[in-house]
Structure 1
Amino acid sequence: MLLHTPLYAMTPQENYAKTLIQQAKEKKLAQTRNWQLLLHYKKDLFGRILGQEDGPDFYNAADGKKNPEAELAATLQTFFTSMTGLKEEREHPQCIFPARYKWLKRKLSFDPSQLTEQDCPRLEDWLKRLNPKSITLVFSSFYMNNPASMFGHTLLRIDTKRDGLDQKLLNYGVNYAATLDTNNSFLYVFKGLFGLFHGEFSLFPYYTKVQTYSNMESRDLWEYELDFTQDQMDTFLRHLWELGGNYFDYYYFQENCSYHILSLLEVANPELHLTDQFWFHVIPSDTVKALTPYDDLISDKIYRPSLLSQMSHKRQQFSKHQENIFQQIVRDPQSIEKSSFQKLDIPEKALILDTFLDYAQYQNMKSKKEEAPNIAVNNRPVLLARSKLRYKRDDNTQTEFSTRPELGHGSDRLRSRCV
């Protein structure tokens, strides 16, 4: 009688990995919405599952891009990788895929005595540095001087917990955009239409975008604070970490800045069905429109007018006489010494001087030159005159110069690409 024995005995870790994989199959975790969102799976025209992520290191299984169950099993296997088995300077899979690890640990109740939880110092330092209190969707209005931005742009802002006064401009922005590798206009259009650019997420100081959009490009900003729980924001950041170093093929019409901003929000809150409504095309204003049906999702709205809009708002308050005086000061700041200006009452003077300082700052930024005239030096008479007034204007009521994105035309009327 022949006895059939295994070629080798499975280790306790291998046995436990096998057990977890079996439990995941029994619970059909690979078919759940959470897993499909984490791996960016979508059905193609023929109803087949296909992962939209195109980076070489995002999927663990050889066929993970089109096989959710194989990918889940392979992901669980990687969590058992020993530190000695890692290549030099490569982080542990638990640290590379923290959102997947968090969700699978919650669903399968990992036994720490059989699956050692690894320390992830770089990840923990990053999470601690961001430390979000809220996440805000930001829409920048149209920029007609750049065809790629003529329908606006959407990004996210991570509002970090800070002591003291509100410091929103010091927070971090999250952007998704194509990484351009050509200046050739034909190739620019061709590669964008056929997904030949890499689309990547990036993290940056938020004030740099405000400087570019609101000041230099005169684009009004709409900010929509989202009502996410602390746990949802943690998942959001962990998944953003997973996307670092990976990319999507960037398509101008569909998988663009608007689409993947929405896909990131869905991972944070799987109850949101945002990308499902866009099959062929999506424009930036659609991003905001997609959120509005969800009651109580948007906890606050802030309109941040550009410098040009602020100046226009003030000039709309001018009488014809005040406009003439303003034009005189534009031509010669020393004209504030003339009787026509001196006879005005204090509120009128403050309005005209504030408008002029907005104008001077706008012209300074518009020049985009290092040798641009210094406002404080060239307009010293105006600055001194304004400081002597000791009068604070009430500008709490701000005219909205751009149409709210949720009120404008959607992609059923427009086609766009965005950067």
Structure 2
Amino acid sequence: MSELQATLDALRLPADAKPDDEHAQCRFPARTLWLKKKLAGQLNFPSVSCPRWDAWAGSRQITSISLVLASGFLGNPASYYGHTLLKFNTDPSRRLTALQDLSISYGVIEDGSDSPFVYIVKGILGGYDGGFSDIEYYFHRNQYGEIELRDLWEYEINLSPDEVQFVSAHAWEVLNRRYQYFFFRKNCAFRMAEIVQIVEGVNITPPNRPWTIPQATLQQAGRERRADGSPLLKSVRYAPSRQSRFYASFNALGAQERQVFFDLVAHEQALTQAPYRALPPEGQRAVVDATIDYYQFITDAAQRSSGKLHPVYTAALAERFRLPPAPKTAEAVAPQAPHLGRAPGWFQAGWMDSDRQGQAGFVRIRAAYYDPLDSDQGHVPYSGLTMGDLRLRFKQQGIRLDQLDLVAINSANPGVTGLAGDRGQVWQIKVGAEPVKPGCEDCLAAKLQGDIGMGRRLMSGLFLAVRAGGAVQGKRADQGLGYVKAGTTLIWRPNPDWGTEINMESRWPAGSEQARYNVLKAEWRYALGRSYDIRIQHEHSSGEHGGARTLLGIGRYW
């Protein structure tokens, strides 16, 4: 009660008791609105001038609020799981474009001097402060969609005008406030949900979870209903990245148009040559549109700001103006929205058969998030990001640890065209414990492994990568302290339900007299709706202490 009374006393101070913007009504507009509503007719509040608050919200005439999700980005540990921010949609008559709308984001406050490993550890343990910042929305569209090549989804929230004003006022209150940042729990998704949840009856934080994942927050919001039964999410709008726009243009080309496109990228003069001139106007537009999108895709911010544009790009722009006016040939089609995707956690139970140890049951728990066979909307295709992936096997003799991945990141750029800037780099890093050789179930050891290579999407749903790398591991079964490796990965996903991944690699042990040996890992998955799947996995390694085993399991997403 003493805190409430102190708040009331501060809010009811005379307007001239404090300088402009320092009065409690200016610093805490949401509390002012709430108390005025609850105490209407009981207490009088002075009229106070708040120039900064009025300029921030009043003059913009905020009409609605949207949750915005940027898809995951494996180039920055802070964005592995995606990023959530709030967008304050203003009256269209007050601005030229929605890109001028105000937005609020929450993130780590740090100087960028820490390595990715230190960044992750400190982020998990709460070693950083986090804070809110506001900026016009075009900054985020440029940073995420144009620089980091991340798709964005904008979800308008079903709020009344009074609720829009209340949430906006609360967002103002938390600006420039500092909080302890926790990567898994009190992150951007958690803080954005807190702001929205100031509205009575709204709860978009997933319950009963020790972590908060941006996509899971939107999934929870998608299940929420207002008091009148209407959905909390009013609408969803897709904003494709620069990469998605280029791939849409390229995939729309026919065989002849595609050949002309490759010629045009290689030679500026192709615009004046017979193969291009032989195309009908719609074919010429398709080729030119794809060329423009390609150079926008590969041109970085420094090149754009310097004005040094590729001559083929400028020639394509001139040609587009010469052609008869027409809409763009191909637009990126909005995929399934992330709030309709599966849950982030996964539990699996099944049976394994080993040629060395016989049969056993197993259970597997993956806290988060996805692998190349179940990556969904908002995830990086042909990639994987898992944390806390634990598998236990059990027999009559007891339960034993079979594998533990503390962190496993598998990043793949699809490299659809194979052209410069789209060559498809792949890399992988994994930290945990697993057998030093597949099939050697009594050879569990701590292991740090990584590799890098090139990948290419050969056709829709088919991805091939070649890579090289190595590992450092605990010394078990005379396998040395690590190995150098080279291998190939093939991923085939003809549709979202079916998927096959085959990994073949050769390993050269270090610090051991063991000879080179080969490893094969193959996994097949079929989705049983949105909540379940079935998988068959086979592993084989050659040489001493090698062996083979097959696993069959049914999984449930949670």
TM-score (norm 1): 0.75
Partner of 2:171: 240
CA RMSD of aligned residues (A): 2.7
Alignment of 1:271-282 (within 5 A): 271-275=201-205, 277=207, 279-282=209-212
Confirm whether residue 138 of structure 1 aligns to residue 73 of structure 2.
no
Alignment of 1:30-45 (within 5 A): none
Shift of 1:298: 1.9
Partner of 1:400: 334
Partner of 1:299: 234
- 2:193 corresponds to which of 246, 262, 265: 262
SS in 1 for 2:256: helix
Rate the CA distance shift 1:161–1:76 in 2: closer, same or farther, 3 A. same
Query: As a proportion of its length, which structure holds more strand?
Result: 2
Partner of 2:153: 222
Counterparts of 1:90 and 1:160 in 2: how far apart (Å)? Answer: 23
Rate the CA distance shift 1:278–1:371 in 2: closer, same or farther, 3 A. farther
Rate the CA distance shift 1:124–1:367 in 2: closer, same or farther, 3 A. closer
- 1:197 corresponds to which of 128, 132, 142: 128
Question: Which residue identity does 1:124 align to in structure 2?
Answer: D
Partner of 1:174: 104
Higher RCO structure, 1 or 2 (CA under 8 Å, sep 6+): 1
Shift of 1:74: 2.6
Cα deviation, 1:168-197, whole Å, max 9, x if unaligned, reads 112111111111245222542333122232
Shift of 1:279: 4.0
Counterparts of 2:315 and 2:146 in 1: how far apart (Å)? Answer: 24
Contact 1:130-1:158 at 8 Å conserved across structures: no
Partner of 1:76: 8
Cα deviation, 1:299-320, whole Å, max 9, x if unaligned, reads 2211111121111112112222
Counterparts of 1:218 and 1:172 in 2: how far apart (Å)? Answer: 22
Contact 1:157-1:172 at 8 Å conserved across structures: yes
SS in 1 for 2:48: coil
Rate the CA distance shift 1:183–1:410 in 2: closer, same or farther, 3 A. farther
Shift of 1:341: 0.8
Shift of 1:406: 1.4
Counterparts of 1:229 and 1:312 in 2: how far apart (Å)? Answer: 39
Counterparts of 2:93 and 2:17 in 1: how far apart (Å)? Answer: 43
Partner of 1:323: 258
Contact 2:103-2:136 at 8 Å conserved across structures: yes
SS in 2 for 1:173: strand
Shift of 1:360: 1.1
Question: Which residue identity does 1:321 align to in structure 2?
Answer: Q
Question: Which residue identity does 1:140 align to in structure 2?
Answer: A
Contact 1:364-1:373 at 8 Å conserved across structures: no
Rate the CA distance shift 1:147–1:303 in 2: closer, same or farther, 3 A. same
Cα deviation, 1:303-360, whole Å, max 9, x if unaligned, reads 1111211111121122222212111111112211111111011111100000000111
- 2:282 corresponds to which of 344, 347, 353: 347
Rate the CA distance shift 1:381–1:190 in 2: closer, same or farther, 3 A. closer
Contact 1:176-1:257 at 8 Å conserved across structures: yes
Confirm whether residue 104 of structure 1 aligns to residue 35 of structure 2.
yes
Contact 1:198-1:250 at 8 Å conserved across structures: yes
Shift of 1:368: 5.6
Alignment of 1:28-67 (within 5 A): none
Rate the CA distance shift 1:165–1:339 in 2: closer, same or farther, 3 A. farther
Percent of aligned positions that are identical: 26
Rate the CA distance shift 1:203–1:366 in 2: closer, same or farther, 3 A. closer
Query: As a proportion of its length, which structure holds more helix?
Result: 1
Counterparts of 1:78 and 1:324 in 2: how far apart (Å)? Answer: 72
Rate the CA distance shift 1:226–1:84 in 2: closer, same or farther, 3 A. closer
Partner of 2:313: 379
Cα deviation, 1:133-181, whole Å, max 9, x if unaligned, reads 1111111112222233222111111111132897211211111111124
Rate the CA distance shift 1:147–1:124 in 2: closer, same or farther, 3 A. closer
- 1:119 corresponds to which of 32, 37, 49: 49
SS in 2 for 1:351: helix
Contact 1:364-1:372 at 8 Å conserved across structures: no
Rate the CA distance shift 1:307–1:201 in 2: closer, same or farther, 3 A. same
Question: Which residue identity does 1:200 align to in structure 2?
Answer: G
TM-score (norm 2): 0.57
Counterparts of 1:382 and 1:192 in 2: how far apart (Å)? Answer: 46
Contact 1:154-1:287 at 8 Å conserved across structures: no
Q: How many equivalent pairs are there?
A: 344
SS in 1 for 2:223: coil
- 1:364 corresponds to which of 299, 309, 314: 299
Question: Which residue identity does 1:272 align to in structure 2?
Answer: V
